[in-house]
Amino acid sequence: MTDPTHADPATEPRPGPPPAPRPAPRPLGEARRWPRSFADRLTAPLPGVRAFARLAREGAAAVRPGADGLRDVPKLPFAPGPLPPADPDTLAVTWAGHASWILRVGGLTVLTDPVWSRRILGTPARVTPVGVRWEDVPPVDAVVISHNHYDHLDAPTLRRLPRDTPVFAPAGLGRWFRHRRFSTVTELDWWEGAELHGVRFDFVPAHHWSKRRLTDTCRTLWGGWVLSDGRGRSVYFAGDTGYGHWFRRIAEHHPAIDLALLPIGAYAPRWWLGDVHTDPEEAVRAFRDLGARVMAPMHWATFVLSSEPVLEPLTRLLAAWDAAGLPRERLWDLAVGESRVL
């Protein structure tokens, strides 16, 4: 879910220096021991009593748009179409909605944070349908998960997958998958990677946090993924993140990213969500920090998770993109269900 953290955005976490770029890949499915908590990786402390008191005072206005903000729901972009053919030389993406993408990279079909459910815990139903019917999803070669919040880790969707589907997950989250009988679960720490059939999966930091139950705050790690094929082309999936120094560090470890999938929604009010969700202007800053070739926005137009009007993320993104003087062809503002080939 989209719970917040608050602090000075310049605060650095305490994970120690990262290893050299592109360390040797970890074995797939290896059993590993992890610390009991990853709270030392936070870039801002969790909200305190004052924040929750303010949330209670402001009520629904702090977490949902009013009637005016919802009136544009029918205008949200939805254009499902056929998936592009994929082969080892193809890098293609299809936006299924929210943070769920079908990536075709190095001949593999990879799902990111797959959520095909109509509703997730604690939120209204989807305001746009899933962009790709489940029966039209090609055979899935791998799944990557950014963190354990319900809008990114959806048990009903994952139950639809064969249990031998390789899963790439943040440190500490493997137990959740093994409990559901997934047989090949690769847990990675920040700056670690693994390989599957010639495609490299690297786990990178994010400005976020984790929680799924009352007692498991920060017990599992959070982050994004850089997937690279044998020809050196790469796509960065940010998952959930606020703006901060990690984007520049990711660029140092992974120069010349071809495509950055960056979140632009669920950002208002800023006092509640500013540390953990980029707003559209910050997403443009992140894109420039990354030095990526193309950006595709996500994490909007699917679930109503915060108080900004439903069409505002894209409107503000386009204005920020223009103000930054960036070429329009480098922004892939896809409709839900739309595909693009790099």
DSSP string covering 108-172: EEEEES----S--TTSPPPSS--SS-GGGSPPP-EEE----STTT--HHHHTTS-TTS-EEEETT
- Is the per-residue pLDDT at 16 higher than 50? no
pLDDT score of 188: 98
Tens-digit pLDDT profile for residues 246-291: 999 999 999 999 999 999 999 999 999 999 999 999 999 999 999 9
Q: Does residue 315 register a pLDDT over 50?
A: yes
Confidence of residue 22 (pLDDT cuts 50, 70, 90): confident
Residue linked to tokens 């909605």: 97
The whole-number average pLDDT for the span 139-146 is 98
- pLDDT at 18 (0 to 100): 52
pLDDT at 21: 61
Q: What crossing angle do the helices spanning 246-253 and 280-290 adopt, rounded to 10°?
A: 30
- Does 7 have pLDDT greater than 50? no
- Judge whether residue 36 has pLDDT over 60: yes
Can you tell me the mean pLDDT for 89-103? 97
| pLDDT at position 53 over 80 | yes
Average pLDDT over residues 112-119: 98
Q: Is pLDDT above 60 for 73?
A: yes
pLDDT tens readout for residues 221-236? 999 999 999 999 999 9
Q: Is 6 a residue whose pLDDT tops 60? A: no
The CB density around residue 14, as the number of other CB atoms within 10 Å, is 10
pLDDT at 12: 40
Give per-residue pLDDT as tens, 175-204.
999 999 999 999 999 999 999 999 999 999
**Mean pLDDT score of the chain:** 93
Helix (H) or strand (E) holding 200: strand 199-204
Q: Is the pLDDT of residue 3 over 70?
A: no
Q: Is the pLDDT at 1 greater than 70, yes or no?
A: no
Sheet bearing 224-228, strands edge to edge: 193-196, 199-204, 224-228, 234-237, 259-263, 294-298
Query: Tokens 């799902």 — which residue?
Result: 111
Percent pLDDT > 90 in the chain is 87
Look at residue 313 and tell me whether its pLDDT is greater than 50. yes
At 161-181, the pLDDT tens digits run 999 999 999 999 999 999 999
| Angle between helical axes of 280-290 and 312-323 (0-180°, round to 10) | 50
Q: What is the pLDDT of residue 62?
A: 83
Question: Cα(251)–Cα(197) distance, rounded to whole angstroms?
Answer: 25
What is the chain's alpha carbon radius of gyration, rounded to the nearest angstrom?
19
φ, ψ for residue 108, nearest 5 deg: -100, 155
Q: What pLDDT is attached to residue 109? A: 97
